């Protein structure tokens, strides 16, 4: 082990390419011997301050300045520094060897840390933190990606545009149209609706739809019990009224579940948290725990719903206005989506005035305008007495980073509340929608001719 540590320190002095590749990932605690740790600390501090490799002479001077070393340790460090001579080494092998050493050391330290916690010797953390500690150690790697070069990386960008698997398709035609094929990873998508309009129904329907597509789905609920969410998805997937589920014989129910299982290779996990008690940090710990215990990595996350989450930035009874608090929650959830490379779908309430409106706007988002400022895709679900009679719900785009929100700005989808299902309606149902933003096709020459005609009508 000392040979590897010595090799690392030597190249941190003489090999600038190696420094750029590995220094951001090295930590003092990875070095076992105290003398090696002191030398690394001084090398790191010098490079961080002067943005230049340190020389042996400068390193000796910096070590000499320290007041925390006894004579024996100081002599040992000086002897080690004297032995740091330049020896050429193949760079790729050196970086790979260093990465493996870092990972091995991180895992070893995480295991020792976990043992201390398990034995009750850590006053600040309990056993619930062990999965996260081990997961972070296992994830140690050298990520040398420093950004997308617009001109040089065009081929990668073009391939990404045409990668169908990057999108999670809806089973509703117009939602696919307005999102250019479905939800994208690293996005926060929000449904805006009043009480009992259909926020949870929409998310339960989509969760069931993605499950049948073979996707792994994580549904986090802070409003209803896990069993209630599962009951809604049962009604949706079994195509039976929700009130009739309890009357099914056990064998019939079991057969229906087995039938659903045969149709998909995906999984659906439903996790309940008490209202306003969980934030993005809890969700991250859950994701790490699911990965370790079930080898489960979600393709999409549903959070029901955003406004009743907590914020990791504003803990306890700290006084903060609703704008900052809800905006903070939205930013943390979007950060979670980016970190785990998944789309997150959530919901929010309308304001009191928005609840009574049949044409809500962005300003009708309850509690904080910071939420629509953060979301990638925000749409309103609107229900009126007339729509209820038609078994329809109106969708209005409010913000859309996927596409032009003026195209198909409004449209309707069918709704079966008893079975917790949404479905496409006939195209004729879309024609009566005012300000629907449907694409208009016209001849450019006719358009120019019309402008000229209007121009000639003016008198000067």
Residue 443 lies in a domain: no
The token pair that represents 428 in the structure block: 């004729």
Shared-domain flag, residues 114 and 209: no
Shared-domain flag, residues 178 and 85: no
Shared-domain flag, residues 360 and 243: yes
pTM of the model: 0.68
Q: Look at residue 352 in the predicted model and tell me its pLDDT.
A: 62
Q: Look at residue 356 in the predicted model and tell me its pLDDT.
A: 55
**Reduced to 3 states, what is the DSSP secondary structure of residue 190?**
strand
Count of C-beta atoms within a 10 Å radius of residue 57: 9
Q: Look at residue 126 in the predicted model and tell me its pLDDT.
A: 84
Q: Sort 237 into a burial class: Cβ within 10 Å, 0-12 / 13-18 / 19+.
A: buried
Q: Look at residue 455 in the predicted model and tell me its pLDDT.
A: 40
pLDDT, one tens digit for every residue, the chain (460 residues): 568 999 999 999 999 999 988 998 999 999 999 999 999 999 999 999 998 999 999 999 999 999 999 999 999 999 999 999 988 889 989 999 999 999 999 999 999 999 999 988 888 888 878 887 887 888 788 866 667 788 888 888 888 777 665 789 999 999 999 999 999 999 999 999 988 899 999 999 999 999 999 999 999 999 899 999 999 999 999 999 999 999 999 999 999 999 999 999 999 999 999 998 899 999 999 998 898 888 899 999 999 989 999 998 886 656 778 888 889 999 999 999 999 999 999 999 887 655 556 677 777 776 667 788 899 999 999 999 999 999 999 999 999 999 998 888 999 999 999 999 999 999 888 876 754 444 443 344 444 445 445 444 444 3
Say how many domains are in the chain. Answer: 2
Q: Quick one: CA dihedral 144, 150, 155, 160, positive or negative?
A: positive
What is the domain extent for residue 50? 2-138
DSSP β-bridge partners for residue 345: 189, 302
Shared-domain flag, residues 30 and 125: yes
Residue in this structure with the two tokens 């990972």, named with its chain if needed: 103
Q: How far apart are CA 369 and CA 362, in angstroms?
A: 8
Residue 307 lies in a domain: yes
Residue 158 lies in a domain: no
Shared-domain flag, residues 94 and 210: no
Residue 305 lies in a domain: yes
Q: Look at residue 1 in the predicted model and tell me its pLDDT.
A: 56
Nearest alpha carbon to residue 406 among 414, 415, 416, 398 = 398
Shared-domain flag, residues 117 and 239: no
Q: CB under 8 Å, gap of 24 or more: what pairs does 420-426 form?
A: 420/201, 420/204, 420/205, 420/232, 420/233, 420/235, 420/236, 420/242, 421/205, 421/235, 421/236, 421/239, 422/172, 422/201, 422/202, 422/205, 422/393, 423/172, 424/172, 424/173, 424/174, 425/392
Residue 395 lies in a domain: yes
Q: How far apart are CA 210 and CA 247, in angstroms?
A: 27
Q: Look at residue 459 in the predicted model and tell me its pLDDT.
A: 41
Shared-domain flag, residues 125 and 176: no
What CATH code is carried by the domain that includes residue 39? 1.10.860.10
Shared-domain flag, residues 354 and 418: yes
What CATH code is carried by the domain that includes residue 189? 3.40.50.300
Shared-domain flag, residues 280 and 344: yes
- Measured torsion, CA atoms of residues 55, 61, 67, 72, in degrees rounded to the nearest 10: 80
Shared-domain flag, residues 171 and 134: no
Residue 333 lies in a domain: yes
The token pair that represents 102 in the structure block: 């870092």
């Amino acid at each position: 082990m000392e040979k590897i540590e010595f090799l690392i320190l030597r190249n941190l002095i003489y090999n600038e390419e190696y420094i750029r590749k590995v220094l951001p990932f090295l930590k003092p605690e990875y070095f076992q011997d105290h003398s090696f740790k002191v030398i690394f600390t001084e090398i790191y501090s010098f490079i961080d301050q002067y943005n230049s490799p340190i020389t042996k002479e400068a390193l000796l001077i910096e070590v000499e300045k320290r007041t925390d070393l006894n004579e024996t340790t100081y002599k040992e460090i000086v002897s080690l520094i004297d032995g740091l001579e330049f020896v050429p080494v193949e760079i790729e092998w050196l970086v790979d060897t260093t990465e493996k050493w870092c990972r091995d050391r991180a895992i070893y330290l995480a295991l020792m840390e976990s043992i201390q916690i398990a034995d009750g010797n850590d006053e600040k953390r309990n056993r619930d933190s062990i999965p996260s500690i081990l997961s972070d150690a296992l994830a140690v790697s050298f990520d040398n990606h420093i950004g997308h070069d617009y001109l040089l990386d065009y081929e990668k960008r073009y391939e990404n545009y045409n990668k169908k698997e990057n999108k999670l398709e809806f089973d509703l035609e117009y939602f696919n149209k307005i999102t250019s094929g479905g939800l994208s990873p690293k996005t926060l998508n929000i449904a805006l609706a009043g009480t009992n309009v259909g926020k949870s129904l929409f998310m339960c329907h989509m969760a069931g739809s993605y499950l049948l597509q073979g996707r792994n789905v994580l549904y986090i609920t802070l409003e209803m019990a896990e069993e209630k969410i599962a009951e809604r998805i049962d009604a949706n997937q079994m195509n039976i009224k929700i009130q009739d589920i309890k009357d099914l014989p056990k064998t019939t129910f079991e057969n229906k579940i087995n039938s659903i299982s045969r149709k998909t290779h995906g999984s659906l996990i439903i996790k309940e948290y008490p209202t306003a008690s969980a934030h993005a940090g809890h969700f991250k710990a859950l994701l790490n725990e699911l990965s370790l215990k079930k080898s489960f990595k979600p393709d999409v996350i549903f959070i029901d719903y955003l406004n009743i989450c907590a914020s990791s930035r504003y803990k306890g009874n700290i006084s903060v206005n609703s704008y900052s608090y809800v905006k903070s929650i939205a930013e943390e959830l979007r950060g979670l989506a980016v970190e785990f490379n998944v789309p997150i779908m959530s919901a929010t309430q309308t304001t009191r005035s928005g609840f009574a409106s049949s044409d809500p706007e962005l300003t009708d988002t309850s509690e904080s305008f910071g939420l629509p400022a953060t979301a990638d895709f925000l749409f309103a679900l609107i229900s009126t007495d007339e729509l209820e009679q038609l078994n329809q719900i109106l969708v209005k785009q409010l913000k859309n980073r996927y596409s032009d929100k003026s195209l198909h700005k409004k449209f309707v989808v069918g709704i079966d509340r008893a079975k917790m299902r949404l479905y496409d309606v006939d195209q004729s149902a879309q024609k009566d929608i005012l300000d629907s933003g449907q694409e208009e096709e016209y001849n450019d020459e006719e358009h120019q001719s019309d402008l000229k005609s209007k121009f000639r009508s003016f008198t000067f």
